[in-house]
Amino acid sequence: MSPEQKAFWSLSPEESFKLLNTSQDGLDSEDAGRRLRDSGPNVLRPKRSFNVLKLFLAQFKSPIIIILLFAAALSLFLKDPTDAIIIMIIVLVSGLLGFWQELDATNAVNRLMEMVKVKVTVIRDGISREIWFDDVVKGDIVLLSAGSAVPGDCMILESKDLFVNEAVLTGETFPVEKMPGTLPPNTPLSKRTNVVFMGTHAVSGSGKALVFRTGKETEFGRITERIGLKPPEPEFERGVKQFGYLLMEVTLFLIIAIFAINVYLVRPVLESFIFALALAVGLTPQLLPAIISINLARGAKRMASKSVIVKQLSSIENFGSMNVLCSDKTGTITEGIIKVHSAVDIQGAENKKVLFYAYLNAVYETGYASPIDEALRSYSEFDITGYDKVDEVPYDFFRKRLSVLLSTCEKNIMITKGAMKNVLEACDLAESPDGSIIEIDKVSDALERQFTDLSGQGYRTLGIAYREVSGRHITRDDEKGMTFLGTLVLYDPPKPDIADIIKELKELGVSLKIITGDNRLVAASLSREIGLGSAKIVAGPEIAMTGDDALINIAASADVFAEVEPNQKERIILAMKKAGNVVGYIGDGINDGPALHVADVSISVESAVDVAKDAASIVLLEKDLGVLVEGVKEGRVTFVNTLKYVFMATSANFGNMFSMAGASLILPFLPLLPKQILLTNLMTDLPEMTIAADNVDPEMVDVPRRWDIGFIKKFMITFGILSSVFDFLTFGVLILIMNASMDQFRTGWFLESIVSATMIVLVIRTRKPFFMSRPGRYLFLSTLFVIAATLLFPYTPLAPIFGFKPLPPSFILVLGLIVLAYVIMAEVTKRLFYKMVKY
C-alpha cells in the first residue's frame, strides 16, 4: 500500500520511516530533489506552467480570430492570395504585440512572487534548513513552531505543548493539542491527535513531524478537489466578464445580420463572410485580457518600488476601491518596539524582583516570539546563574498567559506572565513589598485602580505571578493558586507621522479602524495621541453580546475595537463588508488568518508568521501605513488605467464598427474591405496598448472607485452614438459633396476613422479638457506616430495592395474639419455626461 493510501496515524515511527524510506535525520538533498521531480510541487492545484509558445498561441485563441484565419486560408485556396496573406499578417502582428507585452508582464510578476514565498524548516542531510513550501516532499522531517503553516499531512514525532488550529478542516474554533502516539486505523479525522494536516497552522508550542502526504493527496487537497474550492471571484473580474458578454452579444447579432443582408444583396459570399468577421474583430475587445494583464503587472511593478508586493494581481482593483482599512495598532499605528516603562509591586512602587521574574520568564520561553520578550531580554545586567529551565506552558490566545518552570538548588518555581485579568484569575495570594504574603482579595480593589490608572495613561500592563511546584512538569492546570508579584508596565509610542498618515488616508476616502486586544482605556489614550480624540470605541465583550445584524450598524460607526478576541476579528470584517464597504485588513499574527481570508484586501508584512503571509494577497516589505498609502494610490492608478481601455473600446472603436455595419447596408459596395478593417483595428490598438503607462489625474486617485457596468453601458451608448453621428456625417460628405469614388471613399473613411479614434483616446482618458491633462509619454508618442502613419499610408507602395489611393488636398482638409468638430463635440458631450451621470 502506498504512503498516501495508508492510515499512517496507526503506524509507529519505525514503520513510518521504513515505509517512506527516510530516517530521523531526514532525506538527503539528492533524494529529495528526485522525489520532487517525481511527485511535482507541493501545491493543491498545479501551477500553470509558463510556456512561451503557449503564451504566444493564447493570443489567437479567440473563436472569431480562429474563424477569420480559417476564412483567410479558404480565400487563399480560392486563388485570392493577396487579401488572405494581408489578413493573416495583420492578425499575426496584432498577436505579436499582445504576446510581447504579456511576456514582459508575466516575467515581472514571477520575479515579484519569489520575494514573498513561504518557507518551511525541514531536516535534510541531518541538519535543519529552510526550503520553499512548494518543495516539501513525502519523507521530509518538518519542524513546527507557533505560526508555522503545516506543509502536508504529517505524523507527529515529537511535540511540546503543540496546539494546532484545524478550523479549516473540522470547523472547531479551539486549537487541538497534538502529540506522538498511535491510533486505530478507523479513528475519525477530528480525533487524530497524532497527525497534523495541510491547510492548518500551529498556534503555540513546537514539534517535529514526518510528511506522509503532499499537495492534492492531502485531506485538504481532496476536499478542494471534491468541492472545487476556489477563492471568490473579485468584483472587477466579474465586471470585466459582464462587459465581455455584453459586447459579444452585440457582436454575434451583427455578424449574423450583416452576413445575411449582404448575401441577400447578392454580394460575394466569401467577401461578405470575411467582412462580417472583420467587423466582429473590431467590436470584440480582444485586447482586453492582455491590457488587463499588462496593466496589473505594471501596477504590481510600480507598487513593488513602493515596498508593496502584490501576490494576487486581481486584488489590485480591490486595493484601489478599498474604503475601510482595519489594522492592529502594534507596528502600524505605533512604533512596534515595546519599551519597558517600569515594573511595580502591588502598591505601585518600582520593584526589582518583579522585573527580574519577568526577565526570567522571557529568557526561558521558547514558544511564540513576542516583542515584549525581546524588550525584557535586553536587561542583560541580571545574573540568572543557578536557574535552569525544566518545563514550559507556551502562550496561547485563549489563556493569554505564558508559564515557565525553573529549577534552582533550593526549589522549582513556576513563573507566569500574561494579561493582567488572566493572571489575576490564576492567583489566590499576593506578595507585599516587604515580602509578606496576603490574600489577593485584600488588594484586588487597589490593583484594579492601578490597572485603570496605568491604562488611562496609555500604558500596556502585564501581570507577573509565581508558585513553587514540587514536580518537574507543568500543564495549564497548574496555573492556579499562584502568588501575584506585581505589574510590568510597557509602552509602545505612536509613530511620529501617524496622525498625518491617518489624515492622508481619510483624504483618500479610506477610513482607518483600529482593532486591538488592548483594553478600552489604552485604546482611548492612543486615540487621543494620534488625533482621534472623539473616537467611538467598541469593546470585545460588547461585540460578544451583539448579533451579526446589529453588529453591522455598530461596526460602521466605530473607530476603535478594543479587547477584541481572535475570533471576533472575522465578525467585524464581515459586518463591515455587509454594510457595503470594500474592507482591507492588515494582519501579521497567528490569529489573523480567518480575518485575512474574509477581507476584500488581505494585507500582511514580509516578517509575518507563515499563516498570515500565506493568506494575504498583498505583502508589505515594511510594516508602515505610509507604505500602504502609496500602495493605495498605485492601486487606484492601475484601476483607472484599466477602465480607460474599457471606455476606449466602448466609444470610438465601437461607434466606427457599428457605423460600418450600417453603411454596408446602404452603400452599393462594402465601405471597407476586410483587410482594411483589420488594418484599422491594428492601428487604433497601438495607442491603447500604452495606456498602462499613462498619467492619471490626481482627482481620479482621491476617492475609491468600483466597477460599475451600468455606468459603462451609459458611456458606451453616449459616445458610441456620438461617434456614429460623425461617421455618417463623413459618409454623407464623401458621397454627396466630394463625389468620392469607391476607393476614395474607403481611403477617406480609413483616414477619418483612425485619426478620430486616436484623437478621442486623448479626450476620454481624462475628465478635464484634454489639453489640461498631460498624457503619458508613450501614449502621446504612439498617438502622434499612428496619426502620421495613417496620413502617409495612402502615399506609400503598400496603399494599392490594401486598395487605397492618394486623396486630393480638399479631401484631407474636409476630413480634418470633421475630426476637429468631432473632438470639440466629444469634449462638450464629456462635460455634460459627467454632470448628469455620477461615477
Q: What is the pLDDT of residues 412-433, one digit of tens each?
A: 999 999 999 999 999 999 999 9
Q: According to the per-residue pLDDT averaged within each range, which of 208-212, 382-386, 711-715 is highest?
A: 208-212
Report pLDDT digits (tens) over 182-201. Answer: 999 888 888 899 999 988 88
**Alpha carbon distance 781, 689 (integer Å):** 12
Question: Worst-scoring range by mean pLDDT, 254-263, 276-285, 661-670?
Answer: 276-285
Contacts of 719 (CB under 8 A, 6+ apart): 647, 650, 651, 652, 655, 760, 764, 826, 829, 833
Give the 3-state secondary structure of residue 786.
helix
pLDDT of residue 118 exceeding 90, the answer is: no
CA pair distance 139, 119, nearest whole angstrom: 17
User: What is residue 763's predicted lDDT score, i.e. its pLDDT?
Assistant: 92
State yes or no: pLDDT of 229 exceeds 50.
Answer: no
61 — pLDDT class (breaks 50, 70, 90): low
Q: Which of 3.40.50.10490, 2.40.110.20, 3.40.50.80, 3.40.1110.10 would CATH assign to domain 342-491?
A: 3.40.1110.10
Residue range 307-335+495-632 forms a domain whose CATH class is alpha beta
Average pLDDT over residues 38-48: 75
At residue 652 the predicted structure's pLDDT band, cuts being 50, 70 and 90, is low
Q: Across all residues in the chain, what is the average pLDDT?
A: 82
Q: Where are the CATH 2.70.150.10 domain residues in the chain?
A: 1-224
Q: Rounded to a whole number, what is the distance in angstroms from the first to the last CA of the chain?
A: 62
* Whole-number pLDDT of residue 83: 58
Residue 396 pLDDT: 74
Higher-confidence residue of 332 and 122: namely: 122
Q: Which one of the listed residues 83, 328, 345, 600 is annotated catalytic?
A: 328
How high is the pLDDT of residue 742?
A: 92
Q: By the 8 A CB rule, do 807 and 748 touch?
A: yes
Residue 738 backbone dihedrals phi, psi, to 5 degrees: -90, -5
**Residue from 467, 476, 530 nearest 174 by CA:** 476
Inter-helix orientation angle 674-688/81-113, to 10°: 20
Q: Which 8-state DSSP code applies to residue 126? A: T
Is 614 among the residues known to form the active site?
A: no
447/7 Cα distance (integer angstroms): 54
Strands 601-605 and 618-620: parallel
Ordered alpha helix ranges (H), 265-401: 269-283, 288-305, 315-321, 352-364, 371-377
The C-alpha atoms of residue 310 and residue 636 are separated, in whole angstroms, by 14
Fold of 1-224: 2.70.150
- Maximum separation of any 2 CA atoms in the chain, in Å: 114
Residues of the chain with CATH 3.40.50.1000: 307-335+495-632
* CATH 1.20.1110.10 boundaries in the chain: 234-284+650-836
Kindly report, residue by residue over 575-591, the tens digit of the pLDDT.
Answer: 999 988 889 998 877 67
Lowest mean pLDDT among 253-267, 530-544, 696-710: 253-267
Tell whether pTM > 0.85. no
Lowest mean pLDDT among 53-57, 152-156, 186-190, 464-468: 53-57
Q: By CB neighbour count within 10 A (0-12 exposed, 13-18 middle, 19+ buried), where does 121 fall?
A: middle
Checking if the pLDDT of 75 tops 70, the result is no
Strands (E), 435-555: 437-439, 460-468, 482-491, 511-515, 537-539
Mean local confidence (pLDDT), 329-353: 87
Over residues 22-46, mean pLDDT? 87
Residue 74: predicted pLDDT:
58
Higher pLDDT, 349 or 116: 349
Which three-class secondary structure state does DSSP give residue 459?
Answer: coil
Confidence band (pLDDT; 50, 70, 90) for 741? Answer: very high
pLDDT band for position 227 (50/70/90)?
very low
Q: What is the distance, to the nearest Å, from the Cα of residue 368 to the centroid of all Cα atoms in its chain?
A: 26
- Structure-model confidence comparison of residues 643 and 754, the more confident one: 754
**Which amino acid is it at 126?**
G
Fold (CATH) for 234-284+650-836: Calcium-transporting ATPase, transmembrane domain (1.20.1110)
Indicate whether 84 pLDDT > 70.
Answer: no
Query: Is the model more confident about 596 or about 656?
Result: 596
